[in-house]
Amino acid sequence: MKNKKQNFFYFSKTERNGAFGLLLASILLFILPAYVSRLTRSKTPVDFSAFRSAIDSWESAQSEERPTLPASAALDPNTATFEEIISFGVSGSAARNLISYREKIGPFRKKEDLQKLYRLSAAEFSLIEPFLRIGPPGDATPEESVVSPVKPELFPFDPNTASAAAFSKLGLPERTVGALVNYRQKGGRFRKIDDLKKIYTLSEDHFNRIAPFVRIDTTGSTDFQRSERTEAEAKPAHYAAADNRPQPVIDINLASAEEWTQLRGIGKVYAGRIVNFREKLGGFCRIDQVAETFGLPDSTFLGIRPQLQLSSIFRKLDINTADQEQLKTHPYLNWKQAAAIVSYREQHGAFGGLDDLRKVLALPAETLEKIAPYLSF
């Protein structure tokens, strides 16, 4: 039995050589194909020409879609329509974002303001930046726009007889020219230079500039004075008697509508308007504000002004808590300005004072000056 096992595990020299050769052949069969493959691998570089051609075609198509604009083309972001904006290569969403911003926040003052638009990419801004032309903001105050585009001239004039064209030639704003002419048409007369200050739309700078050239005819021969005498002579006796009676003096912030009717020229309609205007304001902060009442003639206001006295404002507006509805009901603010105030407050926090409010682009200096007495911070 033992001999059989020994014979089973015994290999002759020939058998051993054969087994070794078989093992070597197996190893070569596994290694040789990989080796041969590496030797025969092509050394020719991959041809990327087709891929490059496709990229070039795509870039060419993109450049064709981009508008080619003449150097003289201009884009004013404060006035451009949606169609005009996208014609400069701006996406529709960015164009809508631009229009929404200027309606809710206010006009763009400089080119860099457009970078605040979160939908306008840096590439789009770079594309339109050379064409941006920002003109005067649409909410420029009347004091900033003069009727005549020519340089103002200074010359002697009589404010009681000068034409609207003459006032414009002096460099006065359109609103002031209208107020001067309207004042005269309703019976008003300037008897001394300081009477021009009664025109509340005439700024101090404009007054100081034209005052040295004012020449008022004091000879008493004007048509106005003649008509004034005629009117006095034709007055009924009870009117003449009434002129000699003590004139009532009222507090413009406390007087009721009925008390206002005690003043000459103020009926129920005007009295109601004055009181309604006062309530919306929160009180008058100066006597001349009464003249801003809708429809109230300047001549009527000037006639009653000596009978008016002023007390303090009775209601102020908390600029840090008032919502858009409360803000827009104030006579000196419109809904766009109210929205801009609320939006700025939500983004930057509470207003610390008037200097913070000046950062709201939708509020021109004239509006800030008028609204300031009514604000609390």
pLDDT tens across 255-266, in order? 999 999 999 999
pLDDT of 229: 44
What count of residues does the chain have?
A: 377
Q: Which single residue is written with the structure tokens 């996406």? A: 91
CB 135 within 8 A of CB 112: no
CA distance 80 to 266: 47
**Residue spans per domain, the chain:** 70-131, 143-217, 242-309, 317-376
> In the predicted model, is pLDDT for residue 4 greater than 90?
no
- pLDDT mean over 297-313: 88
> In the predicted model, is pLDDT for residue 22 greater than 90?
no
pLDDT of 88: 82
pLDDT of 275: 92
With a pLDDT cut of 70, the percent of the chain lying above it is 75
Tally of CA atoms within 13 A in the half-sphere of 68 that contains its CB: 3
> In the predicted model, is pLDDT for residue 178 greater than 90?
no
pLDDT of 62: 53
Fold topology of 317-376: DNA polymerase; domain 1 (1.10.150)
CATH of 143-217, one of 3.30.70, 1.10.150, 3.40.50, 1.20.1070: 1.10.150
pLDDT band for position 79 (cuts 50, 70, 90): confident
Most confident segment among 28-42, 182-196, 218-232: 182-196
Asked if domains 143-217 and 317-376 share a fold, the reply is yes
CA distance 298 to 198: 9
For 167-206, strand residue ranges (E) read none
Kindly report the number of other CB atoms within 10 A of residue 82's CB atom: 13
CB 128 within 8 A of CB 89: yes
Most confident segment among 41-45, 193-197, 338-342: 338-342
What is the tens place of the pLDDT at every residue in 82-99? Answer: 888 888 888 888 888 888
CA distance 210 to 206: 6
Cα-only R_g, the chain: 43
Superfamily of domain 242-309: Photosystem II 12 kDa extrinsic protein (1.10.150.320)
Q: What is the mean pLDDT of the chain?
A: 78
Instruction: Map residue 215 onto helix, strand or coil.
Output: coil
> In the predicted model, is pLDDT for residue 48 greater than 70?
no
pLDDT band for position 224 (cuts 50, 70, 90): very low
pLDDT of 144: 39
- pLDDT mean over 348-360: 89
pLDDT of 260: 94
Spatial CA neighbour of 179 closest among 193, 191, 194, 196: 196
